Amino acid sequence: MKIFYKHFSLSYFKPLQSRIPASAVSLVLLCCGVILNTSSVVASETFLAQDDTAKQENYVPAGYSLVWSDEFDNDKITDKWWYETGDHGWGNKELQNYVAGRSGLDTCAEVSSGILKISAKKKDNQVISIRMNSRQSWIYGYFESRMKLPSGKGTWPAFWMLPQNIKDWPDDGEIDIMEEVGYNPNYVSSSIHCKAYNHVAGTQKTSEKFVPSAQSEFHIYAVEWTENYIYAYIDGKRYFTFVNDKQGDKNTWPFNVPFYLKLNLAWGGNWGGAKGVDENVLPAVYEIDYVRVYQDGAKSQDSKNQDGTKSQDYRNQDGTKNQDYRNQDF
Looking at every residue in the chain, the average pLDDT score rounds to 82
Residues 6+ apart with CB under 8 A from 113: none
Domain hosting residue 149, numbered range: 50-295
pLDDT tens-digit readout, 245-292 = 999 999 999 999 999 999 999 999 999 999 999 999 999 999 999 999
Band of pLDDT at residue 121, cut at 50, 70 and 90: very high
| Total domains present in the chain | 1
Return the pLDDT at 199: 86
Catalytic residue among 94, 144, 179, 180, which?
A: 179
Sign of CA dihedral 104, 105, 107, 110: positive
In a domain, 181, yes or no: yes
Provide mean pLDDT across the span 57-71: 93
Catalytic residue among 71, 94, 144, 174, which?
A: 174
3-state secondary structure of 26: helix
In a domain, 138, yes or no: yes
279 carries an active-site annotation: no
Provide mean pLDDT across the span 54-83: 89
Strand partners, 179: 158, 189
In a domain, 198, yes or no: yes
Return the pLDDT at 297: 80
pLDDT tens-digit readout, 90-109 = 999 999 999 999 999 999 99
Return the pLDDT at 58: 73
Give, for 30, the enclosing helix (H) or strand (E).
helix 22-31
Return the pLDDT at 303: 52
In a domain, 280, yes or no: yes
In a domain, 44, yes or no: no
174 carries an active-site annotation: yes
Do 33 and 88 form a contact (C-beta atoms < 8 A)?
Answer: no
pLDDT tens-digit readout, 164-180 = 999 999 999 999 999 99
Report the CATH number that the domain containing residue 255 is assigned in CATH: 2.60.120.200
In a domain, 64, yes or no: yes
Is a pLDDT exceeding 90 seen at residue 60? Answer: yes
pTM (two decimals): 0.78
Contacts made by residues 97-101, CB under 8 angstroms, sequence distance 24+: 97/126, 97/127, 97/128, 97/129, 98/128, 98/129, 98/130, 98/131, 98/264, 99/128, 99/129, 99/130, 101/77, 101/130
For residues 325 and 236, which has the higher predicted lDDT (pLDDT)?
Answer: 236
Band of pLDDT at residue 24, cut at 50, 70 and 90: very low
Return the pLDDT at 36: 37
Is a pLDDT exceeding 80 seen at residue 137? Answer: yes
In a domain, 86, yes or no: yes
